[in-house]
Structure 1
């Protein structure tokens, strides 16, 4: 492996949160910091009160599957809960996985990520097990080997599902794309808690607060949502073949995990955890076996050649 590439992977960048500086200056359409903090604090307190009430609260067990460790409907049992979920247990190309330095193959031929995103009508949806941004308009696409995959939705997992050299991060965003044959390609973006909030999530906060703890509830995003704000301009990425990380765990998913780690605020993580149904606060599927799959790593050519 090129020594510069190895140095980059093993160096301080793994532990250093990196995010475009523009996120520190939200535009005028965002809430003021003071109002946002008050709103978040009020929402967290209200949700905590609901969760601590003596009346039963609908939770993960009612959704068909659970993230609760040791639960009969937990991740270790997903494959036996329904016949159509059998792949969760029997599949050999399951996700998430650890992206380990020793397992990587340098693949400069993959090329830069070829995507064209744009602001589109969207709704924020509480699916019980996660919070999703569903694009109701054309949000653009990702091209892989000449095939266009349309961006359909984005959702968050806390903590991250993929790990890098065994390190799990505080959050992971999944950007889910489908082609004309309904085959999937997902971009995963990792986050660590820092002082700078995530700009895209910041815009979604009032809508998440409005649907907190209400499975099936959704709110239309005023002015639409711009995927470019979430994606950033990252160039280094991992690529492998895997699956969806929730039942039915369908395989054949093209995974692209961005190497750069973004930042998210603690209050934003807290909001996402409080908004889902009880038992889904830590909605990350355990790591799956790599099973000798090829994990490619793309670096821009100048970095490899220097």
Structure 2
């Protein structure tokens, strides 16, 4: 490859000199200059990386540098309540709190490739959850592979995020973890849409979020952030303890649907910086 580049450069320089020295008038020079421009455009395409951010570590646009890419993203590097974190049983405080009250309902939805992930967003009223007397409306869900949160150092194969917002603009996210095993029923119904999404929005018809089945009896809760830029803090996280299953075909479909380079789209675990993590177990 390096030899090809060398001979290409030599040939290009020869072509430029030849055209310039044999130009007899300005119009001839202009036309030949255009020929050079076309040649360069074809054989030397633009190589600038236009991706806003990546998950590739130890690179300029990777997770360690997100806060330097855009001034509005600086909290990605300077924040004290960043997500995801390791949910270690040794550091959690037991709480006797109601998990949440769920009132989901079927509503029209679409599926979109956001480049870095695949998102299902509800266009109608898909219901809400109520946490500590605050209502949070379900807006969308998306997936990260492998999981972003770890439990006692264990990273799982997939993590689903159900994103909710309150009337005052607060965000609450439910995280559901998955490991390889039996196919997930919810993803089975979405598989055709995932494979067809490409770069366009695909109408899914009516989707019932209640089909995202997960156990609510035991969970972790803490205050964190969005796990992608701008890494906004103040997010109320609830991560379900019980791990669900997903098939390799479903993981592969999600990875193949995103843009190149985002097949793995998990932010590394962040420093908890001494913040409180609560664990709810009705049996304790």
Q: TM-score range by the shorter chain?
A: 0.7 to 0.9
**2:135 maps to what in 1?**
148
Q: CA deviation at 1:226?
A: 1.2
Are positions 1:221 and 2:207 aligned together? no
Are positions 1:90 and 2:78 aligned together? yes
SS at match of 1:221: strand
Give 2:257's match in structure 1, choosing from 260, 275, 278: 275
Instruction: List alignment gaps of at least 5 residues for structure 2.
Output: 1-44
**Residues 181-236 of structure 1: CA deviation (Å, up to 9, x unaligned):** 11100000000011x10111111111111113x2xx211113x1111111434311
**1:78 maps to what in 2?**
66
1:115 & 1:272 partners in 2: Cα distance? 27
* 8 Å CA contact retained: 2:87, 2:149: yes
Instruction: List alignment gaps of at least 5 residues for structure 1.
Output: 1-55
Counterparts of 1:104-253 in structure 2, within 5 Å, are 104-108=92-96, 110-194=97-181, 196-212=182-198, 214=199, 217-222=200-205, 224-253=206-235
1:128 & 1:198 partners in 2: Cα distance? 23
SS at match of 1:288: coil
Q: CA deviation at 1:58?
A: 11
* 8 Å CA contact retained: 1:63, 1:128: no
* More contact order relative to length (CA 8 Å, sep ≥ 6): 1
2:216 & 2:187 partners in 1: Cα distance? 18
RMSD between aligned residues? 1.8
* 8 Å CA contact retained: 1:67, 1:74: yes
* 8 Å CA contact retained: 2:215, 2:242: no
2:67 & 2:115 partners in 1: Cα distance? 20
181 and 206 in structure 1: CA distance in 2 versus 1, 3 angstrom threshold: same
1:279 & 1:103 partners in 2: Cα distance? 35
Are positions 1:298 and 2:277 aligned together? no
TM-score (norm 2): 0.82
1:58 & 1:99 partners in 2: Cα distance? 40
